[in-house]
Amino acid sequence: MDRSAKGSGVMRPGETLPRDRGEIDAIHRVRKPHAVRQAKRAPFFRGKLDHVELDRLDDPTEWQKIPLLDKEMLRGISDVEFYRDFCLAPDGGDHVVQYWRSGGTTGRPLFYPRSSADIEVALRGFARVYACAGAAASQKVHCAFPLGIHPVGQMMARAAEASGLGAIMPGAGNTTSSALQIELIEKLKPDVFVGMSSYALHLGNLADQRGIDLARGSVKLVICSAEPLSVAKRERLARTWGAEVRDSFGMTEAGMMAAEDGEADGFRVWTDLFFVEVVDPQTGQPVREGEVGALVVTPLFTNNITPFLRWMSGDMVSLHREVSGDSPFSVFPVLRHAHRTSGFFKVRGININHVEFEDFMLALAPINDFKCEAIRDDDDLDALRISVEVKHGASVADAVKLVEQETKRVFELTPAVVVLQPGALALEFEAAIKAPRIRDLRS
């Protein structure tokens, strides 16, 4: 029996889907106390959990006695303290096999040790994305997530292999040029593309500039992760690739946690592997079902070294427990992301929300690619500069006029529009993991 599953009734956690909510509840009854016991082993939690009664954790009020844990608490300790006081030594013959970089682009990153037992379960969580999204064994997958210390790239590639899929592993543009990636897609004809949505758009734009229509190609399923996927971006991806688009969701503190199944509006979240709550971010109290609040996650099996307990990730979400469906994944509740953590800047008193602006530009048919920058003009006044590449065959003058008029109408600002040569942004974005399309250059 798997060490991490002992007593849970699960021979190999995550290997099969639970048949009903009763099976999930049975896992929670065993693994929630185990998660608390793991945390109590760590000096970081010393004195913080003594008041919690382990035999009463089925009672929500008892579980809520456990203090919330957030990023600032971990950033408040040194690296030495993190590895000494928060991380646990593997037991039972287990050992560290990987280090995962914490997510996010701000603050000091942490590197989480992952044991063999952690990876065994985590790999099944990643593999579920393919099954949930509708990929079939023997299909070929072009894996274009970044390959490196952030786990999504190498884990999605390994999960493809474990799922019986043929994995093509170029990574993102910083490891294999985008031009070569398009060549690989044309030659090897993958059925599935997996990568960040911004990079999938970038490849589509580059292909268009080269006269290649990806919508007429082999890829019929695009799976994204690691950044917000808005309705406008999803529609643009579907048109560009001629494919179904599915999103997935996870975090390095826990693992890959959820994916879209094409039926429900949101992510089916693996509640047999993670205990998920939604709370008021100010009070820490649970919100009513369907209301937006802060996501709180407790890993049930991937906590052999890092005992994350009631981890408040910073994501604003809603949870819906009764969402029917025909797939085996309909046993799981649905998580909907509110995408409230997006950035913005202010230009001449007008707030420019980054996600909203990106959606706005993606909806302009003659624009193939763009970047938007808040700058100081020649008079040292705030200004908005939008650099665009115009779609092949479209009128450049009409495209510029459209950008000017629509930006004025929607955002009440008249931008300076710069027309770039086709492929200029592809070269600029090539080395970036996330294409830096919106930036504030005033400082």
DSSP label at residue 49? S
How far apart CA 203 and CA 369 sit, in angstroms, is 11
Determine contact, residues 383/375, Cβ cutoff 8 Å.
yes
| CA angle in degrees (0–180, nearest 5) for 147-203-214 | 125
Whether the per-residue pLDDT at 106 is higher than 50: the answer is no
Q: Structural domain tally of the chain?
A: 2
pLDDT at 107: 55
Cα torsion 303, 314, 150, 272: sign = positive
Is 16's pLDDT higher than 80?
yes
Contacts of 331 (CB under 8 A, 6+ apart): 17, 18, 19, 20, 21, 24
Q: Residues 401, 305: one domain? A: no
- Location of structure tokens 């579907």: 238
Out of 284, 314, 339, a domain closes at 339
Specify whether the CB–CB gap between 166 and 195 falls below 8 A.
Answer: no
Work out whether strand 221-224 and strand 192-194 pair parallel, antiparallel, or are unpaired: parallel
Alpha carbons 420 and 218: distance in angstroms, whole number = 30
Distances (CA, A) of 251 to 12, 25, 150, 440: 22, 23, 10, 27
In whole angstroms, what separates CA 34 from the centre of its chain?
27
pLDDT digits (tens, 9 = 90+) for 268-278: 999 999 999 99
Q: Look up residue 41 and give its two tokens.
A: 């082993």
Pair (230, 349) in one structural domain: no
280 and 228 part of one domain: yes
Residue 7 above 50 pLDDT?
no
The whole model's pTM is what? Answer: 0.84
> How confident is the prediction for the chain on average, in pLDDT?
90
Q: What percent of the chain has pLDDT over 90?
A: 67
Same domain, 332 and 354: no
Are residues 297 and 350 located together in one domain of the fold? no
Share of the chain residues as helix, strand and coil, in percent rounded to the nearest 5: 35, 25, 45
Tally Cβ neighbours within 10 Å of residue 58: 12
Grouping H, G, I as helix, E, B as strand and the rest as coil, residue 361 is helix
How far apart are alpha carbons 184 and 215 in whole angstroms?
A: 16
The answer to whether residues 324 and 391 belong to one domain is no
pLDDT at 105 over 60: no
Provide the b/e sequence for 428-438 (b: ≥16 CB within 10 Å).
bbbebbbbebb
Same domain, 242 and 383: no
Residue 432: which CATH number?
3.30.300.30
Q: Bridge partners of 319? A: 335
**Which candidate, 360, 350, 354, 328, places its Cα nearest to that of 341?**
354
Please tell me whether residues 297 and 380 are part of one structural domain: no
DSSP-derived secondary structure for 107-151: S---EEEEEHHHHHHHHHHHHHHHHHHT--TT-EEEE-SPPSSST
Q: Which residues contact 266 (CB under 8 A, 6 or more apart)?
A: 260, 320, 323, 334, 335, 336, 337
Whether residue 389 sits in one domain with residue 307: no
- Tokens read off for 161: 């292999």
Pair 357, 391 in one domain: yes
Q: What are the tens digits of pLDDT across the range 372-412?
A: 999 988 877 889 999 999 988 899 999 999 999 999 999 98
pLDDT at residue 11 in the model: 60
Task: State residue 3's pLDDT score.
Answer: 37
- Among candidate residues 288, 316, 339, the one where a domain is terminated: 339
Verify that 267 and 394 share a domain, yes or no.
no
Dig out the tokens for 216 from the structure: 């007429």
Q: Pick from 298, 324, 339: which residue ends a domain? A: 339
Q: Are 306 and 352 contained in the same domain?
A: no
Q: The domain spanning residue 281 has which CATH number?
A: 3.40.50.12780
Q: Which domain holds residue 431?
A: 344-440
Which residue matches tokens 């007008």?
A: 350
The residue-averaged pLDDT of 107-132 equals: 93
What is the distance between the alpha carbons of residues 254 and 129, in angstroms, rounded to a whole number?
A: 15
CA distances from 51 to 32, 48, 67 (A): 16, 8, 11
